[in-house]
Chains A and B, each alone.
Chain A
Amino acid sequence: MSTLAPLVLLTPLAGFLINALFGRMLPRRVSGWVGAGSIGLSLVFALAILVQVIGGEHMDQTYFTWWSSGLFDVPFNLYVDPLSTLMILVITVVGFLIHVYSIGYMAADRGISRFFAYMNLFVFAMLLLVLSGNFIWLVVGWAGVGLCSYLLIGFWYDRPAAVLAARKAFVMNVIGDVGMVFAAFVIFLNLNVLDFGSVFSRVHQLPKGGTVINVICLLLLVGAVAKSAQLPLHTWLPDAMEGPTPVSALIHAATMVTAGVYLVARMHLLYDWAPQAATVVAVIGGVTALFAATIGMTQVDIKRVLAYSTMSQIGYMFLAVGIGAYAAGMFHFMTHAFFKALLFMAAGNVVHAFHDDQDIRHMGQLRRGLPVTFWTFLIGTLSISGFPLLAGFFSKDEIIRAALSAAGIEFVMGLAALLTAGLTAFYMFRLFIIAFGWEWLRDDPRHLHEAPPIQTIPIIILAAGAALGGYFPVANFLEPVFGHAVDIGTGAFIALALLTLVAAGVGFALAYLVYARRPELAVAWRARLGPIATLVEHKYYIDELYDRVIVRPGFALARFLNNVFEPRVIDGTVNGVADFFLLESREWRLIQTGRVRSYGLWTLGGAIGIVGLIAWTLGYLPFRSG
């Protein structure tokens, strides 16, 4: 396993290097297959690791030293356990399918080799993030995925909106990176180690629920929140939809944005030790789930609806890991990766069919034109809405159940999650009904073209995952990491499952009523809700708030320093002093002989004089009496 783990990492890196260095000499198809093939190979190695992990193996292997001085001894080590194995499997499986899809989706783009280079670099960084066995390399992977996210959001760099969105994503993620780095400081200064194995074994030296462990967990949470687009650092994710759709599927839905969930799950021993910080995680998750779902109900851009849906679903995962239901959170991570990647790629097919128009109001009635896309999107919609026996039903139910079995604020968050389940069904079916429609057209005058097989086969495979992923024994697989999940009993199980089903059913029924049967109701309700609807449509004005409170004052301060403070105050003082001496020096011009040697003599003499004076006053010169 100590060779397999680096191989999992290095194959995407090799793919990146090939496309980065020689990409422009390669034919387009070759670029694409190098990109996809390297992930495929990585997947093979990941499967080999899976076999060993199922056999009960576990690895924490050091490969080289990063920095060693005093107590600060940081290695490059890889950490393989069921949790990281689940992560690398989802990353390589979904990543491989999305890479294959991209061969078709990006075929006409002239930057295709650059695209695959960035995508492979992303997979490398993501795998590093989940395989790293210490905080330094976790941060390297963490920032690496942020970099690739930036590069791919701004992939079409001649579009100003894409450039701005990319910068926004990067800067907000750097806020998170700094939080994580600070967390590493507090960990090191209290435990003297930075590798996970030692941190986990020493964390119980800290007082449980004390300031130190809570500060550590909250600082880590800053990183998790920024990366996973949770409140209040979420505003970059909707804008990130400026990137190509496969990017949205891979980075901004299936993998990178769930890194925050992975982080909390990986650090579960720390969060178990910091109940207050864990509660904060749960509250952020529950509130974000509800918050994003409300915005999702109002958006008309197909990718933005899915982006808010992603935020909301990750909110579920945060809620899960915040209340200690780690396995449930990771389970939902996996099923979400399947159905959300599927939804995004299907949406990509639709957007292509409509020549890059993403407004759902211009779409509709796609069953005849895009049959494969239509049916797979429906499966994804049903899965995310929690349709019985599909993947999303199992994973989401488990989270809501766990939250509703808790007490206090966690229970309230469980109610929010229940409400969100209803809203999810509502906004997803709203999207489906408006964009895809119910009706079967005999003739479609629009002549829509279904995507080629290279773009539909990956979606069909993911649809299978979205349908059947609920039967994977994820909780059992993760048991060595998180321990055995609490069994709440069959009666409570069925009651709570029915509750979520009712919520989802109401959401579906409302969406069907408003958008399929009586569209005039939508207009009427919108008018009745008035200012509230406006508030939600404008995403609660949070972008505007940040602009007023942070961005503009920042630039105002920068301008003040540049235009007033630096020239007038600082340089003004300096020049004032200089002018004073220039004025004084008129008197002294007589001694300016122009001879360098005489200046040197004066300098030395002056210096000695001053020293003598100081020394005399301090009593160091022998001739001072007393």
Chain B
Amino acid sequence: MNWYTLSPNVPWLTLVLVLPLAGALMIALVPAVARRTVKQLGILTSVATLLLVLAIIGGFQHGVGNLRFQFEEIRQWIPGVGISYHLGIDGVSLFLLGLNALLFLLATAVTDPETPRFKEFMLLLLVLEAATAGVLLALDLILFYVFWEAMLVPLYFLIGAWGEGQRVYAAFKFLIYTVVGSFAMLVAILAVAAISFAQTGQLTFDWVTLVQHPASGTAHLLGLSLSVQQLLFVGFALAFAIKMPLFPLHTWLPPAYVSAPVPVLIVFAGLVPKLGAYGFIRFNLALFPDAAHSLAPFFALLATIGILYGAFMALSQTDLKRLVAYASMSHLGFIGLGIFTGNLLGIEGALVQMVNHGVIIAALFLIVAMIERRSGTRDRAQLRGLATGTPVFAALFLLVSLAALGLPGLNGFVGEFLIMLGAWAAFTPLAVAAGIGVILAAWYVLRMYQGSFQGVPVEPAGFGELRRSDVGALAPLLALMVVIGVSPAFFPAAVEATVKALPVLTR
């Protein structure tokens, strides 16, 4: 089913990459003092990108499985070594691309034009958008790696130059962690290509070719021995596990989140971790299904530890930003658990939870920023009774909190339910542990909400109600929380065919 058909003659996905870059180029040509123009260009670009992505989502055909992609583009890039410019979209990447466009629009919209070196900031943000979109669209392993690394550069500067507190330490720590992971992945990518070459005599980095190996005629790579598969699996997994992050590779996260400026945080926390999760599904589950199957218990265990660990850490934070950072880690544990259930419902749950996580965490960080802007502090111990006089703020914060703690009827529940159902089928004890994570989430989320907004107000004056622009920034996120919570049927309709064809399910 689809609503309309987009012309196959237009390189739609290349446009998704080009639009933000074109916007960045235009901003580069505008004088730095023209802050309003820069802002308008930034918003215009990200609105255009979002509309384009929505058009693609609308034109996406349901029911196309069998490892087939849509809006596919393939061109020779470096033919001598089998590297191609290959883009495509399927059920795994579809809604993440939508999340990408939405969060970048939000990020550009909430950036204060009075930010120092605003022009450069906006420019880097748009470059980052192209890079993250590229990560989701690339179907060539080298092309993927290029986008993956390209993402680092703007992020490093956005945190290191515009951050707060120990920003240089935070940015450097993030960089080092990530580079270690990326290097392991590069080794694994080259190894995969080398092995494929040794077997078939054809050098290629093409995802589709590697997954559907023509020589073996079977659905997946090479019939490698399990231990080799596992070794390669771990190479990829290291990069993705650091990016998500999976316990215990998470210690770059709190300082980086605390330092990152809010517009960056929206994409850095709302989107980037999901690229790690995406990588697990796209590469680990597809290229190495046997290794995925054999290592799944271990990774599912790490993810579950992450759920509980993040929840306990969130319980002991007083800085709201750190609290949300650990809450985010706990929620990402659910996504990891869903992926490594290796079954249809668990992976679908992980996919919908990726969107939910982006929506919820972005909203939470926005709210923390709104609180800090009004009261000058993020310390829960110094905040009390803010709801007095700000009923709208209190109501919206409450709604976001409820989505975050997985209240049935809102979006967080949908993903958590499916993930735990998948986990119950695969590893029942881990599902039970995840259920404890749900109970802890109710605890730390309510402590956050009640601690800051309820109780006797410290000083009623001075804490202002939300402005129209604040409500506007939160509105699309709140709408998604309700819509996905009440009627999420559109989601499996679009992704089911893709997930069913994943090699880890068909092996």
Interface locus among B160-168, B353-361, B363-371, B432-440? B432-440
Closest to B201 in A: A622
> Inter-chain contact count A-B, CB under 8 Å?
162
B130 within 8 A of A: no
Using Cβ atoms and an 8 Å threshold, which residues of chain B touch A198?
none
Closest beta carbon of chain B to A326's beta carbon, Å? 26
Known: A142-B408, A603-B183. A170 touches B446 (CB 8 A): yes
In the bound complex, do residue B187 and residue A607 qualify as a contact, i.e. CB atoms below 8 Å apart? Answer: yes
21 contacts between A and B (CB under 8 A): A64-B489, A69-B344, A69-B496, A140-B409, A143-B409, A158-B455, A158-B456, A158-B457, A167-B450, A171-B439, A171-B442, A171-B443, A185-B425, A185-B431, A562-B316, A563-B316, A570-B248, A574-B251, A578-B176, A611-B187, A615-B194
- Cα A136 to Cα B317 in complex, Å, equals 33
- Cα A561 to Cα B440 in complex, Å, equals 15
Using Cβ atoms and an 8 Å threshold, which residues of chain B touch A143?
407-409, 413
Binding site for B on A (CB under 8 A): 20, 24, 64-70, 72, 114, 136, 139-140, 142-144, 147, 154, 157-158, 160, 163, 166-167, 170-171, 174-175, 177-178, 181-182, 184-186, 188-189, 554-555, 557-559, 561-563, 566, 570-571, 574, 578, 603, 606-608, 610-612, 614-615, 618, 620-622
Question: Could you say which of A66, A182, A558 contacts B432, with CB atoms under 8 Å apart?
Answer: A182
Question: Could you say which of A144, A555, A561, A622 contacts B409, with CB atoms under 8 Å apart?
Answer: A144
In the bound complex, do residue A557 and residue B312 qualify as a contact, i.e. CB atoms below 8 Å apart? Answer: yes
Closest to B310 in A: A561
- Interface 1/0 per residue, B463-484 and A, CB below 8 Å: 0000000000000000000000
B424 within 8 A of A: yes
In the bound complex, do residue A614 and residue B409 qualify as a contact, i.e. CB atoms below 8 Å apart? Answer: no
In the bound complex, do residue A178 and residue B345 qualify as a contact, i.e. CB atoms below 8 Å apart? Answer: no
- Cα A60 to Cα B413 in complex, Å, equals 25
Using Cβ atoms and an 8 Å threshold, which residues of chain A touch B456?
158, 160
Closest beta carbon of chain A to B302's beta carbon, Å? 13
Question: Could you say which of B186, B317, B455, B492 contacts A67, with CB atoms under 8 Å apart?
Answer: B492
B215 within 8 A of A: no
In the bound complex, do residue B316 and residue A558 qualify as a contact, i.e. CB atoms below 8 Å apart? Answer: yes
Using Cβ atoms and an 8 Å threshold, which residues of chain B touch A167?
443, 446-447, 450
In the bound complex, do residue B454 and residue A607 qualify as a contact, i.e. CB atoms below 8 Å apart? Answer: no
Closest to B423 in A: A185
- Interface 1/0 per residue, B102-120 and A, CB below 8 Å: 0000000000000000000
B348 within 8 A of A: yes
Closest to A563 in B: B316
In the bound complex, do residue A181 and residue B435 qualify as a contact, i.e. CB atoms below 8 Å apart? Answer: yes
Interface hub of B199, B446, B491 (most chain A Cβ within 10 A) = B446
Interface locus among B17-25, B132-140, B202-210, B384-392? B384-392
In the bound complex, do residue B316 and residue A24 qualify as a contact, i.e. CB atoms below 8 Å apart? Answer: no
Known: A69-B348, A611-B190. A621 touches B251 (CB 8 A): no
In the bound complex, do residue A114 and residue B391 qualify as a contact, i.e. CB atoms below 8 Å apart? Answer: yes
Known: A66-B487, A143-B407, A174-B438. A561 touches B312 (CB 8 A): yes
- Cα A68 to Cα B494 in complex, Å, equals 11
Using Cβ atoms and an 8 Å threshold, which residues of chain A touch B435?
178, 181-182
Interface locus among B47-55, B70-78, B414-422? B414-422
Using Cβ atoms and an 8 Å threshold, which residues of chain A touch B195?
615, 620
Closest beta carbon of chain B to A399's beta carbon, Å? 32
In the bound complex, do residue A178 and residue B438 qualify as a contact, i.e. CB atoms below 8 Å apart? Answer: yes
B228 within 8 A of A: yes
B309 within 8 A of A: yes
Using Cβ atoms and an 8 Å threshold, which residues of chain B touch A139?
408
B315 within 8 A of A: yes
Q: Which of B385-402 contact A (CB under 8 A)?
A: 385, 387-388, 391, 395, 402
Closest beta carbon of chain B to A184's beta carbon, Å? 8
- Cα A139 to Cα B431 in complex, Å, equals 18
- Cα A121 to Cα B356 in complex, Å, equals 24
Closest to B451 in A: A163
In the bound complex, do residue B190 and residue A608 qualify as a contact, i.e. CB atoms below 8 Å apart? Answer: yes
In the bound complex, do residue A177 and residue B408 qualify as a contact, i.e. CB atoms below 8 Å apart? Answer: yes
Known: A69-B348, A175-B439, A607-B186. A154 touches B454 (CB 8 A): yes
Known: A154-B454, A175-B439, A189-B425. A566 touches B198 (CB 8 A): no
- Cα A70 to Cα B496 in complex, Å, equals 8
In the bound complex, do residue B455 and residue A174 qualify as a contact, i.e. CB atoms below 8 Å apart? Answer: no
Interface hub of B176, B418, B442, B496 (most chain A Cβ within 10 A) = B442
Closest to A572 in B: B251
- Cα A452 to Cα B199 in complex, Å, equals 90
In the bound complex, do residue A70 and residue B409 qualify as a contact, i.e. CB atoms below 8 Å apart? Answer: no
B226 within 8 A of A: no
In the bound complex, do residue B385 and residue A158 qualify as a contact, i.e. CB atoms below 8 Å apart? Answer: yes
In the bound complex, do residue B388 and residue A158 qualify as a contact, i.e. CB atoms below 8 Å apart? Answer: yes
Using Cβ atoms and an 8 Å threshold, which residues of chain A touch B388?
158
In the bound complex, do residue B315 and residue A558 qualify as a contact, i.e. CB atoms below 8 Å apart? Answer: yes
Closest to B225 in A: A618
- Cα A224 to Cα B438 in complex, Å, equals 18
Using Cβ atoms and an 8 Å threshold, which residues of chain B touch A170?
442, 446
Known: A561-B312, A614-B231, A618-B228. A24 touches B391 (CB 8 A): yes
Question: Could you say which of A174, A611, A612 contacts B442, with CB atoms under 8 Å apart?
Answer: A174
Using Cβ atoms and an 8 Å threshold, which residues of chain A touch B6?
none
Identify 6 new A-B residue pairs, CB closer than 8 A, beyond the known A189-B425, A618-B228: A66-B488, A67-B489, A136-B417, A157-B387, A174-B439, A554-B312
- Cα A557 to Cα B312 in complex, Å, equals 7
Closest beta carbon of chain A to B40's beta carbon, Å? 32
Closest beta carbon of chain B to A172's beta carbon, Å? 9
- Nearest 10 A/B pairs, CB to CB: A69-B492, A558-B316, A562-B316, A157-B454, A143-B408, A558-B315, A620-B198, A174-B442, A185-B424, A140-B408
B493 within 8 A of A: yes
- Interface 1/0 per residue, B285-323 and A, CB below 8 Å: 000000000000000000000000100110111000000
Question: Could you say which of B251, B316, B402 contacts A147, with CB atoms under 8 Å apart?
Answer: B402
Known: A143-B409, A158-B457, A181-B435. A64 touches B487 (CB 8 A): yes
Question: Could you say which of A65, A175, A178, A562 contacts B313, with CB atoms under 8 Å apart?
Answer: A562
Closest beta carbon of chain A to B233's beta carbon, Å? 14
In the bound complex, do residue A615 and residue B198 qualify as a contact, i.e. CB atoms below 8 Å apart? Answer: yes
Known: A67-B414, A143-B409, A611-B190. A562 touches B391 (CB 8 A): no
- Cα A578 to Cα B248 in complex, Å, equals 16
Using Cβ atoms and an 8 Å threshold, which residues of chain B touch A618?
228
In the bound complex, do residue A70 and residue B344 qualify as a contact, i.e. CB atoms below 8 Å apart? Answer: yes
- Cα A270 to Cα B183 in complex, Å, equals 56
Closest beta carbon of chain B to A592's beta carbon, Å? 15
In the bound complex, do residue B191 and residue A611 qualify as a contact, i.e. CB atoms below 8 Å apart? Answer: yes
Using Cβ atoms and an 8 Å threshold, which residues of chain B touch A578?
176
Question: Could you say which of B395, B408, B457 contacts A144, with CB atoms under 8 Å apart?
Answer: B408
Closest beta carbon of chain B to A223's beta carbon, Å? 12
Question: Could you say which of B183, B317, B405, B424 contacts A607, with CB atoms under 8 Å apart?
Answer: B183
- Interface 1/0 per residue, B177-190 and A, CB below 8 Å: 10000010011001
Closest beta carbon of chain A to B64's beta carbon, Å? 15
Closest beta carbon of chain A to B238's beta carbon, Å? 13
- Cα A554 to Cα B280 in complex, Å, equals 33
Question: Could you say which of B176, B316, B491, B500 contacts A555, with CB atoms under 8 Å apart?
Answer: B316
Using Cβ atoms and an 8 Å threshold, which residues of chain B touch A566?
251, 313
Using Cβ atoms and an 8 Å threshold, which residues of chain A touch B405?
174
Interface hub of A69, A139, A154, A557 (most chain B Cβ within 10 A) = A69
Closest to B456 in A: A158
Using Cβ atoms and an 8 Å threshold, which residues of chain A touch B420?
181-182, 185
- Cα A170 to Cα B432 in complex, Å, equals 19
In the bound complex, do residue A154 and residue B450 qualify as a contact, i.e. CB atoms below 8 Å apart? Answer: yes
Closest beta carbon of chain B to A113's beta carbon, Å? 10
Closest beta carbon of chain A to B258's beta carbon, Å? 14
Known: A167-B450, A562-B317, A611-B194. A67 touches B418 (CB 8 A): yes
Closest to A114 in B: B391
Closest beta carbon of chain B to A175's beta carbon, Å? 6
Using Cβ atoms and an 8 Å threshold, which residues of chain A touch B177?
574
